[in-house]
Structure 1
């Protein structure tokens, strides 16, 4: 078989609009893994969330989480690659968000820090109900993020800033990119995501391929949004979702069906199996 690894984004790609993995997607992934192809979840989400979905697929494979800032093995939890944001950059990012009055949250490998209760926080509480107790996400609503950074010194892998006012979000992004030591991306129309400089799903995928001794030409990458572009660019076959952003479709080799039409399963059947 030509391809040895398939890197799949989660939100807007593997997951449908109900945050579920369709039967067709599951069956295609089962078929391809039975043939010896590795299926790697590549997501901006915190690690335990991705681990939960990997378990539901019954695949034991490395997981790329936090937009590529944290890569670990499923089951063993051995860290393959990690690149947290520096304390100094974290503080600058926090101060800018507070100045602009934009909601944000950030996380390490297991702890989710949020400035207030939000839809995302609520979704993670619901997810915790489905996760084994020892693997649940530690969710914390905090009043003073700078104090947390100073006292607890968490390894912050990613910040997410959410704002429905596009002009306000764009202005925040323009100022954020001036901060030294960070990488700025987006995974949805109303968010900005910040990681350590050089961090991306593409960089993480390269590191993983080196560990697994897999050539980039043997990799398939499937995604839908801006933060997926780096991994699509390095893959031997890049596949954009039908519901994906136009800039993603432009750089992809092919476009599959939407996430609500089991586009991942369709692509695996057509181009890999």
Structure 2
């Protein structure tokens, strides 16, 4: 099979444990691009963070961010698709987080809204210190979420709840399951990610492939976590990372090496470069 597109997750897949792209991964991705294979970044992160890595790789293909809620050109000038979480459903998730005293953050209009300056918010704060102005992420600590939700000119893509207590996390999941208007996934052992119903990496990849006139059989998808499952199921060749969740490995056609041992490069070398 001659593959025309590779969809690659970022965290736990393309990025190693230090949030860096290894030299071998860079070289393999660039070589695949030179062979006219489109390389697509698909991530749960906000667009600004994914654009930084796209620039690092020198790829100029569309980027799928926020778990598929946002697809844009590599430079962000053209929005190809976006799907918003309703403010009612966002409020529902926030109130649920507050009920269990759980940390949360949500994304909208290139701004990262955090309950408090801890956990992931601190990670992005450190990120900003290393970036040029164009690649910095706006961070705003939410003192009164109602004020933000009531602003008519702001749309929101997703909310992430982070809870280390397993019992509390499962109770939150159970209550979220009662809302039929949302999509719930996870990209890490302690997080819960909520988007609008129908939003997924798989559906976003399907929309993009239709636009590019690429058949799903000509697609390779590489991922490690539950939020990657939909795109692995869509792709003709599903590749799970060696460090991935067991469920992801069970639905994959192939398991490559870990993210700390050039797993992406090894998959590309086997399936594309030869």
**Do both share a fold (TM > 0.5)?**
yes
2:49·2:135 contact (CA, 8 Å) conserved in 1? no
TM-score by length of 1: 0.97
Residue in structure 1 matched with residue 185 of structure 2 by the alignment: 185
Q: Distance between the aligned counterparts of 1:58 and 1:129, measured in 2?
A: 22
Residue in structure 2 matched with residue 170 of structure 1 by the alignment: 170
Of 98-107 and 252-261, deviating more is 98-107
Residue in structure 2 matched with residue 61 of structure 1 by the alignment: 61
Matched ranges for 1:242-257 at <5 A? 242-257=242-257
Residue in structure 2 matched with residue 74 of structure 1 by the alignment: 74
SS of 1:129's equivalent?
A: helix
Cα drift, residue 40 of structure 1:
0.5
Structure 1, unaligned runs of 5 or more: none
Of 230-239 and 69-78, deviating more is 69-78
Residue in structure 1 matched with residue 119 of structure 2 by the alignment: 119
Residue in structure 1 matched with residue 6 of structure 2 by the alignment: 6
Aligned pairs, number: 273
Matched ranges for 1:224-263 at <5 A? 224-263=224-263
Deviation per CA, 1:225-247: give whole Å up to 9, x if none.
00000000000100000000000
1:242·1:255 contact (CA, 8 Å) conserved in 2? yes
1:41·1:54 contact (CA, 8 Å) conserved in 2? yes
Deviation per CA, 1:57-106: give whole Å up to 9, x if none.
11111000000000100125211111010111111111111112111000
Cα drift, residue 109 of structure 1:
4.4
Matched ranges for 1:42-57 at <5 A? 42-57=42-57
Residue in structure 1 matched with residue 214 of structure 2 by the alignment: 214
1:94·1:146 contact (CA, 8 Å) conserved in 2? no
Of 147-156 and 52-61, deviating more is 147-156
Matched ranges for 1:26-45 at <5 A? 26-45=26-45
2:48·2:136 contact (CA, 8 Å) conserved in 1? yes
Deviation per CA, 1:209-268: give whole Å up to 9, x if none.
011111111100000000000000000100000000000000000000000001000100
Q: Distance between the aligned counterparts of 1:76 and 1:113, measured in 2?
A: 20
Label 1:109 to 1:10 Cα distance change in 2 as closer, same or farther (>3 A). Answer: farther
SS of 1:95's equivalent?
A: helix
Cα drift, residue 126 of structure 1:
2.1
SS of 2:150's equivalent?
A: helix
Label 1:189 to 1:147 Cα distance change in 2 as closer, same or farther (>3 A). Answer: same
2:111·2:140 contact (CA, 8 Å) conserved in 1? yes
TM-score by length of 2: 0.97
Residue in structure 2 matched with residue 199 of structure 1 by the alignment: 199
Structure 2, unaligned runs of 5 or more: none
2:109·2:154 contact (CA, 8 Å) conserved in 1? no
Q: Distance between the aligned counterparts of 1:109 and 1:51, measured in 2?
A: 15
Of 227-236 and 108-117, deviating more is 108-117
